[in-house]
Amino acid sequence: MNSTVLTNLRIPSELLPSDGRFGSGPSKIRASQIDALISSSTHLLGTSHRQAPVKNLIGSVRSQLSELFAIPDGWQVLIGNGGASLFWDAATFGLIHKCSQHYVFGEFSSKFAQAVRLAPHLSEPIIVESPAGTVPALKFAQDSQVDTYCLTHNETSTGATMNLLRPARPDDALVVVDATSAAGSIAWSANEVDVYYFSPQKGFASEGGTWIALCSPRAIERIESIAKSKRWCPASLDLSIALENSKANQTYNTPSISTFVLLDEQLKWMLNNGGLPWCVERTTTSAKYLYDWAEQRKFAEPFISDRQFRSPVVGAIDLVGVDANDVNVVLRANKIVDTDSYRKLGRNQLRVSMFPAVEPTDVQKLTACIDFIVEAIS
Ligand SMILES: Cc1ncc(COP(=O)(O)O)c(C=O)c1O
């Protein structure tokens, strides 16, 4: 449809959500986080990350994460620069001993598998793959040489979520989970996982460029034993260096302090409101609004057909007989942004993030806006 017609289409103000940010990361940052950033501007921003004020801030983030996820004694919260993508490389050097198994069901899970495939010091990874829109069944080999199982809690590219389970094996194989878009929004159990890693620009409404990994004592043991083996590892990717720095509430090199201010404020908000169960209830409520709406419309259909795998945080909705690009153009012209489908998926689809910062009523209002647009352009 003619783009001027689309950009001139005004959605009635009573239908508009209170906030139009529905991106899957970077995602909505709440106003009180920005207030916290402004009040941190004289004593934190622009000050040394090796001095007490910033170290205390990082300490507060680490302890609030431990509380939010109720991680058992002996676990450590590791922090470093570079985001979850960098963590894949760090894990390739310092977590996988020799052989990993990867559950691949979209772009992000496939990228980690590819990083491992190219690593000359590791053997060919074992890939269990299923098509976009599905979730591979866990097939843990009981007697295999696999020392690290690589799972993804929420495939952001497709909006599919995986149930996290540890294989029943008597040995020390690790379960390493990419939780980049799930963390803080979907429940999980520390009994089933050894490493739960993510970036803070999604469920934690902060900014990109940092990775955070919650590590079990078994994972710490693995990091330390690989480090002792003297296998070559660049210092910026060395998890044993990240571990030592994190214990001292520091990062190996200079972090983005504003990222930690925003993250700290979001964690306070989550914990004050009831912690992870409250966050999960919020995302579940939002997701119910979105998927119920899509199921009731002739022009919409949830991309993930099996309900148990539908993500409560990243909802992918296929459109039928309406161009999703046209809908997105009108939404953006009305200040509702980042509802585009994952670029490489190539579907006629909307993708809506429902992280805890997003008001469930805003998800409801978004669906009313889409109804209005479809009616207007059909
Ligand atoms: C599931 C998942 N893993 C990893 C990443 C990469 O994160 P980053 O861009 O912070 O490196 C993303 C980014 O969207 C993601 O959604």
The 3-class SS string of 182-249 reads CCCCCCCCHHHCCEEEECCCCCCCCCCCEEEEEECHHHHHHHHHHHHCCCCCCHHHCHHHHHHHHHCC
Tens of pLDDT, residue by residue over 295-352, are 999 999 999 999 999 999 999 999 999 999 999 999 999 999 999 999 899 999 999 9
- Quick check: CB of 210 below 6 Å from ligand 1? no
- 3-29+274-377 folds as Aspartate Aminotransferase, domain 1 (3.90.1150)
* Torsion sign (Cα): 160, 166, 171, 174: positive
Domain at 32-271: CATH code: 3.40.640.10
How far, in Å, from the CA of 210 to the mean position of ligand 1? 11
- Quick check: CB of 312 below 6 Å from ligand 1? no
**C-beta of residue 300 within 8 angstroms of C-beta of residue 318:** yes
Q: State the pairing for strand pair 100-104/148-152.
A: parallel
pLDDT grade for 143, boundaries at 50, 70 and 90:
low
CA 295 vs CA 13, 288, 318: distances in Å: 26, 10, 11
Question: Which atom of ligand 1 lies nearest, measured to the CA of 82?
Answer: 11
- Quick check: CB of 326 below 6 Å from ligand 1? no
Mean pLDDT over the full length of the chain:
96
Question: Which atom of ligand 1 lies nearest, measured to the CA of 84?
Answer: 11
- Quick check: CB of 259 below 6 Å from ligand 1? no
Judged against a pLDDT cut of 80, whether residue 170 lies above it is answered with no
pLDDT grade for 171, boundaries at 50, 70 and 90:
confident
How far, in Å, from the CA of 376 to the mean position of ligand 1? 35
What is the location of CATH 3.40.640.10 in the chain? Answer: 32-271
pLDDT grade for 7, boundaries at 50, 70 and 90:
very high
What is the location of CATH 3.90.1150.10 in the chain? Answer: 3-29+274-377
Tens of pLDDT, residue by residue over 79-114, are 999 999 999 999 999 999 999 999 999 999 999 999
pLDDT grade for 159, boundaries at 50, 70 and 90:
very high
Least confident of 18-32, 39-53, 159-173, 277-291: 159-173
pLDDT grade for 45, boundaries at 50, 70 and 90:
very high
